[in-house]
Amino acid sequence: MVLTQNIRFSYGKSTDFSFPDIAAAAGETLLITGGSGKGKTTLLHLLGGLLRPASGKILIDTADISQLADRKRDRFRGQHIGIVLQQSYFVAALTVLDNVVLASWLATGKRATAKAREILTQLGLETQLDKLPSQLSIGQQQRVSIARALINSPKLLLADEPTSSLDDENAVIVADMLSALAAQFGTALIIVTHDQRLKDRFPNQISL
């Protein structure tokens, strides 16, 4: 489902990253670890099409997103890549349900309201649908972010430090949810983290 080859990226002349090749199959979870400054978030942004590599290939279901023009890459990301960021960027004035539905409308032009309800219910948020994101706990907000990332049934799900702000109990819950949902949706899941709790949980790892 996801395959990279000889990816390089530079920030000016001072910082140059050369990343190991990555392969992740549908339904598989891959952990990318490494200390601060090793390029974990940069790699995640490359995989998500938010950055373009200086060289190399990023294949997602045979499509090389590194070769797509900016507008086509943005469209591809909206339709085929889900991203769970460290900070949840919700539309503050919209309800939990509407924030998730918005992601489907922006990507496809259709409002997948029934599917959004189904995913949010599966994540244990059925009583929170009409609340504003600010009324939720951090753990609940993270689950809404997961629902939003899954609404378009992506081929690739990327999670950037998804448990760093969570206590042990919620970290386990979120980790298990991500893995189970990736398997259910047939989505390749790549988690970027320095969280030791996740390192102990997922054996399939690449260290930068």
pLDDT tens per residue, range 109-165: 899 999 999 999 988 899 999 999 999 998 899 889 999 999 998 999 999 988 887
Of 195 and 65, more confident: 65
Kindly report, residue by residue over 70-93, the tens digit of the pLDDT: 999 998 998 899 999 878 889 999
Kindly report, residue by residue over 8-66, the tens digit of the pLDDT: 999 877 788 999 999 999 999 999 998 888 899 899 999 999 999 999 999 998 899 99
pLDDT value at residue 201: 84
DSSP-derived pairing of the beta strands 23-24 and 2-11: antiparallel
Q: What is the pTM of this model?
A: 0.88
- Please report, for residues 5, 8, 60, 64, 158, the alpha-carbon distance to residue 72 in angstroms, rounded to integers and kept in the order given: 21, 21, 14, 11, 19
pLDDT value at residue 72: 92
pLDDT value at residue 37: 84
pLDDT value at residue 190: 95
Residue 206 banded pLDDT, cuts 50, 70, 90 = very high
Assess contact for 197 and 175: CB atoms under 8 A.
Answer: yes
Run of H or E residues at 23: strand 23-24
pLDDT value at residue 178: 87
pLDDT value at residue 171: 83
Residues 6 or more apart whose CB falls under 8 angstroms from that of 56 comprise: 4, 5, 6, 7, 8, 19, 66
Three-state DSSP class for residue 86: coil
pLDDT value at residue 162: 86
Task: Tokens for 65, please give them.
Answer: 């997103």
- CATH number 3.40.50.300 given to 2-207: yes
pLDDT value at residue 59: 95
Domain boundaries, the chain: 2-207
